[in-house]
Amino acid sequence: MSAAQEGTFTGLRSQLQAAATAFADGPDALEGILLGIVDDVDRAVREPLEIFPVCHHSPASALAMARRLREKQPKVVYLELCEDMAPLLTELRNCRLPVAVQAFATEIEGFPADWSPLSVVAPITEASAEYQAIAYALDTPGVELVLVDRSSDHVFQWDARGADPSEPSEPAGPGAPGEEEAALHGDAVGVEIGDLRPRFAELEEHLLRHGRVRHWSEWWHQYVELPLGDSDHDTYRQVMLLIGSLFRRLAPGDLRRVRVDEDRERYMWTRMREHLAATGTDPADCLYVCGAFHAASRVAEFGVDGADGFEIGPRTATRWQHGLIPSSHAAIEAQFGLASGSVSIASTVWAKNVRRTRVEPFRLAGQAGTKKRASAAKAGPAAADAAVPASDRLSGFLQRPPVLDRLDEAELLGWSVEIVRAARRNGYLASTADAIAVFETSILLAGMRDRAKPTPYDFQDAAVTCIEKDTVPGRRDVRRLVEIMMGGDRTGQVGYDALPPLARDVHDRLAPLGLKLQQRGVRRALLDIASRPELEKCSDVLWMLRYLMPQGAARPIMGERRLGERPIQESWDLALGTHQRALIELGYEGVSIEQVLEQRLRRTAYDPRATTAVVLEAVEDATLHLRSRRLADELGTRALEVLATERSVDGAPEVLRRVRGLLAYYRTSEPVLPPWIESFVRTGYAHYCTLLPTAFTDEDATVRQVAAMLGFLFSMEGLALSLGCDRMQLELAVAQSHPEEPAKVALLWAARIQLGSLSRAELRARCDELLGNPLVVPAYPRYLSGFLHALEPVPALAEFVVEAVSNAFARLPDPVLLPWLPNLIGTLRSGGAEQVPLLIREAGRIFPGRLRALDTWVPPWRVEPDPRMGRSARPGGAGRSVPLLAAHPATCDAAAELLGCDVVWETTDPGPRGAALVHAHPATAAALQALPAPEPVGR
pLDDT tens digits, 36-62: 777 778 888 888 899 998 888 788 888
pLDDT of residue 939: 35
Segment 118-129 mean pLDDT: 86
DSSP 51: E
**More reliable by pLDDT, 33 or 700:** 700
Query: pLDDT grade, residue 875 (50/70/90)?
Result: very low
pLDDT in tens, 474-503: 777 888 888 777 766 677 888 888 888 888
Segment 82-91 mean pLDDT: 88
Say what the alpha-carbon torsion angle 620, 622, 623, 628 is, to the nearest 10 degrees: -150
pLDDT of residue 932: 60
Per-residue pLDDT for 95 more than 90? no
Per-residue pLDDT for 567 more than 70? yes
Q: Which of 36-40, 132-136, 325-329, 445-449 has the lowest mean pLDDT?
A: 36-40
Question: CA–CA distance from 587 to each of 102, 324, 446, 496, 627 (Å)?
Answer: 12, 11, 50, 13, 22
Per-residue pLDDT for 795 more than 50? yes
pLDDT, the chain, mean: 79
Maximal CA-CA distance, the chain: 142
Per-residue pLDDT for 732 more than 50? yes
Determine phi and psi for 255, rounding to 5 degrees: -60, -40
Identify the helix (H) or strand (E) that includes residue 712. Answer: helix 703-715
Segment 348-358 mean pLDDT: 82
Segment 225-252 mean pLDDT: 79
pLDDT > 70: what percent of the chain? 78
Of 327, 89, 92, the closest CA to residue 186 belongs to: 327
Query: pLDDT grade, residue 870 (50/70/90)?
Result: very low
pLDDT of residue 9: 56
Per-residue pLDDT for 175 more than 70? no
pLDDT of residue 246: 79
pLDDT of residue 262: 85
Segment 15-33 mean pLDDT: 52
Query: pLDDT grade, residue 242 (50/70/90)?
Result: confident
Q: Which of 67-81, 598-612, 776-790 has the lowest mean pLDDT?
A: 776-790
Segment 339-355 mean pLDDT: 80
Query: pLDDT grade, residue 571 (50/70/90)?
Result: very high
Q: What's the CA gap between 857 and 851, in Å, rounded?
A: 10
Please tell me whether the peptide bond between 117 and the residue prior to it is cis, using omega within 30 degrees of 0: yes
Q: Do β-strands 321-326 and 99-105 pair in parallel, antiparallel, or remain unpaired?
A: antiparallel
Per-residue pLDDT for 177 more than 80? no
Per-residue pLDDT for 76 more than 90? yes
Per-residue pLDDT for 840 more than 70? yes
Query: pLDDT grade, residue 916 (50/70/90)?
Result: low
pLDDT in tens, 600-634: 999 999 998 999 999 999 999 999 998 888 999 99
Which value, in Å, is the radius of gyration of the alpha carbons in the chain? 40
Of 502, 325, 326, 368, the closest CA to residue 94 belongs to: 368
pLDDT of residue 833: 65
Per-residue pLDDT for 804 more than 80? yes
Tell me how many helices (H) and strands (E) the chain has.
Answer: 42, 15
Q: What's the CA gap between 844 and 291, in Å, rounded?
A: 79
pLDDT of residue 479: 82
**More reliable by pLDDT, 923 or 674:** 674
Q: Which of 230-244, 490-504, 622-636, 878-892 has the lowest mean pLDDT?
A: 878-892
Per-residue pLDDT for 873 more than 70? no
Q: Which of 163-172, 313-322, 507-516, 883-892 has the lowest mean pLDDT?
A: 163-172
**Phi/psi class of residue 217: alpha, beta or left (left: φ > 0; alpha: ψ in -120 to 50)?**
alpha
Per-residue pLDDT for 881 more than 60? no
Per-residue pLDDT for 264 more than 90? no
Query: pLDDT grade, residue 749 (50/70/90)?
Result: very high
Q: What's the CA gap between 916 and 648, in Å, rounded?
A: 52
Segment 638-642 mean pLDDT: 91
Q: Which of 112-116, 335-339, 351-355 has the lowest mean pLDDT?
A: 335-339
Query: pLDDT grade, residue 910 (50/70/90)?
Result: very low
Of 512, 386, 354, 527, the closest CA to residue 75 belongs to: 386
Residue 685: is it exposed, middle or buried by C-beta count within 10 angstroms (0-12/13-18/19+)? buried
Per-residue pLDDT for 902 more than 60? yes
Per-residue pLDDT for 103 more than 80? yes
Q: Which of 1-10, 192-201, 475-484, 729-738 has the lowest mean pLDDT?
A: 1-10
Per-residue pLDDT for 444 more than 50? yes
Segment 734-743 mean pLDDT: 90
pLDDT of residue 116: 78
pLDDT of residue 883: 63
Per-residue pLDDT for 128 more than 70? yes
Q: Which of 394-408, 743-757, 789-803 has the lowest mean pLDDT?
A: 394-408
pLDDT of residue 12: 55
pLDDT of residue 565: 85
**More reliable by pLDDT, 161 or 209:** 209
pLDDT > 90: what percent of the chain? 13
pLDDT of residue 287: 92
pLDDT of residue 619: 93
Segment 253-263 mean pLDDT: 77
Q: Which of 101-110, 167-176, 290-299 has the lowest mean pLDDT?
A: 167-176
Per-residue pLDDT for 309 more than 90? no
Per-residue pLDDT for 448 more than 80? yes
Of 195, 200, 524, 148, the closest CA to residue 304 belongs to: 148
Q: What's the CA gap between 768 and 168, in Å, rounded?
A: 72
Per-residue pLDDT for 386 more than 70? no
Q: Which of 256-260, 306-310, 714-718 has the lowest mean pLDDT?
A: 256-260
Q: 468-476: long-range contacts at Cβ-Cβ below 8 A with a sequence spacing of 24 or more?
A: 468/428, 473/426, 473/427, 473/428, 474/426, 474/427, 474/428, 476/175, 476/426
Question: CA–CA distance from 6 to each of 45, 51, 420 (Å)?
Answer: 11, 18, 58
Segment 355-361 mean pLDDT: 84
pLDDT of residue 871: 45
